[in-house]
Chains A and B, each alone.
Chain A
Amino acid sequence: MLSVGGVYKTFNIGTVNEKTALRNISLNLEEGDFVTLIGGNGSGKSTLLNCIAGVHAVDQGAIIIDGIDVTKFSEHKRAGILGRVFQDPMVGTAANMEIEENLALAYRRGRNRSLRWGISQKERELYKELLRPLDLGLENRLGARVGLLSGGQRQALTLLMATLRKPKLLLLDEHTAALDPKTAAKVLELSDKFIEEGKLTTLMVTHNMRDAIKHGNRLIMMYDGRILLDIKGETKQQLTVEALLQRFGQASGEEFSNDRALLS
């Protein structure tokens, strides 16, 4: 479903701030794969997701989604086949627009936008049905401005928007990191539900090792712009935090305690 081949990305080439964020990343996701992605601060996780989404152009390599080479596609063009949720709850929704308007924008992702009315009565019913199971009471507040919602509510809404039209690939970049533990757990649970029900191919970045182990069928660890570990199948299912730390130590030749950010 996703094929990343030999991708390099360096920021600020030729300046003192030059920083290579991705070094020869290759990665294949099968349809229905739910991959959790972990790694220390600055290891290149967000950069990888941003390169897949077209926020950054890659320096080298190719990105193929569902058989389409999107390497040269602009961000908005790729968006038609992607669903994205960001770390910052403010980023995923338009604060000054209504809940239903936000959903209507997402409903037209990858479709032609014309001079037809921006939202139909039929859609409103659909949105109500879809918002009800979130259990946040949003189904009765379709006309409320999104800016009035809490971070958790906005993140849940963004998640719904990302999956409203089934994406070929769902990209979640630490989408629970900015939430309090209880809300984070709820949003994560919701993500699980959406991914399972929609059989969505997913790439989820998290800083929480327990979450990374508990969720998904495959775990990838990045380190300094490279993929260090790629654990799937049986091994992934039996993985423990201790085992993961040990494997990281072996693979990187470093003590994991150097990379405290990874510890949960």
Chain B
Amino acid sequence: MLSFCTLSAYGSSLGKRGGCRVLSVTQFCLKRLETGGGMLQIILGAVMLGLLWAIMTIGVYITYRILDIADLTVEGSIAMGAAIAAQAIYSGINPYAATFLALVGGMAAGLITGLLHTRLKVPALLSGILTMIALYSINLRILGKANLSLLRMETVYTVFKDMGVDKNTVFVNLGISQVVPVITLGLLCVLGIIGILYWFFGTEVGCSVRSTGDNPQMSRAQGINTNNMIILGLIISNGLVAVSGALIAQQQSFADVQMGIGSIVIGLASVIIGEVLFGKRNFFSRLVSLVLGAITYRVIIALVLEIGMPANDLKLFTAITVAIALALPVFRSYLSPITKSMKVGM
């Protein structure tokens, strides 16, 4: 039950469409929380969503921090991942294969943005916007309609049902039998992705991607094909985002063509929260902090909903949070011009 509650809160953050319906569901859920819920369930639900969104957050981090590009493709590729996975599962394809197809789709989206930017010299921001808009139509075609339900379909999580997780009395009594499979699988995915990326960005190619984002001029002078590295980074990033979308769709049992709206801001919020709260000592701790950031974001959202903020204000709340976080350096420099001048005088 609980996973459904948190989820509907998320659902209401998706957009204008069906606002009334979603709102009423949310109110219903909030009532449930007041009567029976309890903190544990709220937190667990947030952790569950946070883990799935963490994969998307890592994707955003790769473009925003490593490549130094604000890539809006993700708004389209997260919905694309959801659409591909949902349609594939609906057509009877194995959920894991469906999730893999979503990965491929997301990578293709990243490739298109990369080609627009590097080969056709369209500015990065605009390249992302173009792909994002194009994906909206493509996603509609994939889904065949605005949304597709996966209720009672096999998903990547139902394997755990076969293992009897949903009948485990401890979990059932705690009301978290739905959450356990998602958290387990989400955690596995996140850990696997962190491991692979930690390895990749330590390799010769990975280092070249990093240096391209850091200093393209220097990278070219060191013989690095910066265009290809940008494309590679965008491919990896959007592949991850699409996987995230696929996993989210299966968790919430539907894919929605609008589910990407505002996702870049959620991703950025998670990146920044992670960096501010959990540090950035080395690359590994940065990756972990992204996951913690994504989870923290979900916990914050769950809590502000719990204390009564209307779900329709979520996007406004997120946008303001991100704006403040991004402006932090400016505030700091107003507050402490002395520390700043000390830093410059190296």
Which residues in A have some Cβ–Cβ distance to B below 8 Å? Answer: 53, 74-77, 79-80, 82, 84, 86, 90-97, 101-102, 104-106, 108-111, 113-119, 148-150, 161
Q: Which residue of A91, A92, A105 contacts B208 across the interface (Cβ within 8 Å)? A: A105
Specify the main secondary structure of chain B where it touches its partner: helix
CA distance in complex: A108, B226 (Å): 15
CB neighbours of A84 from chain B (8 A): 221
CA distance in complex: A110, B222 (Å): 8
CA distance in complex: A90, B221 (Å): 13
Total contacts A to B, CB within 8 angstroms? Answer: 86
Q: Which residue of B211, B217, B223 contacts A97 across the interface (Cβ within 8 Å)? A: B211
Q: A91-B215, A93-B215, A97-B214 are in contact. Are A117 and B221 (CB under 8 A)?
A: no
| 9 additional contacts (CB under 8 A) given A109-B223, A149-B346, A150-B346 | A79-B220, A79-B221, A84-B221, A94-B210, A94-B215, A95-B214, A101-B207, A108-B223, A115-B204
CB neighbours of A118 from chain B (8 A): 202-204, 206-207
Q: Which residue of A93, A114, A148 contacts B218 across the interface (Cβ within 8 Å)? A: A93
Q: Which residue of A79, A91, A97 contacts B210 across the interface (Cβ within 8 Å)? A: A97
Q: A91-B215, A94-B215 are in contact. Are A80 and B221 (CB under 8 A)?
A: no
Q: Which residue of B208, B217, B220, B226 contacts A113 across the interface (Cβ within 8 Å)? A: B208
CA distance in complex: A149, B346 (Å): 7
Residue of A nearest to B217 (CB): A91
CB neighbours of A109 from chain B (8 A): 222-223
Q: Which residue of B205, B211, B221, B346 contacts A114 across the interface (Cβ within 8 Å)? A: B205
CB neighbours of B217 from chain A (8 A): 86, 91
Q: Which residue of A86, A105, A150 contacts B219 across the interface (Cβ within 8 Å)? A: A105
CB neighbours of A92 from chain B (8 A): 218, 221
CB neighbours of A114 from chain B (8 A): 203-205
Specify the main secondary structure of chain A where it touches its partner: loop
Q: Which of A79, A93, A94 has the most CB of B within 10 A?
A: A94
A116 close to B203 (CB less than 8 A): yes
Q: Which of A86, A105, A110, A111 has the most CB of B within 10 A?
A: A105
CA distance in complex: A127, B200 (Å): 23
CB neighbours of B225 from chain A (8 A): 74, 76
CB neighbours of A119 from chain B (8 A): 207
Q: A113-B205, A115-B203, A148-B346 are in contact. Are A75 and B215 (CB under 8 A)?
A: no
A53 close to B204 (CB less than 8 A): no
> How many whole Å from A196's CB to the nearest CB in chain B?
23
A117 close to B215 (CB less than 8 A): no
| A–B complex contacts, Cβ < 8 Å, 7 sampled | A75-B220, A84-B221, A97-B211, A108-B223, A109-B223, A117-B203, A118-B206
A116 close to B204 (CB less than 8 A): yes
Residue of B nearest to A104 (CB): B207
A79 close to B215 (CB less than 8 A): no
> How many whole Å from A223's CB to the nearest CB in chain B?
28
CA distance in complex: A115, B226 (Å): 17
Q: Which of B210, B220, B223 has the most CB of A within 10 A?
A: B223
Residue of A nearest to B211 (CB): A94
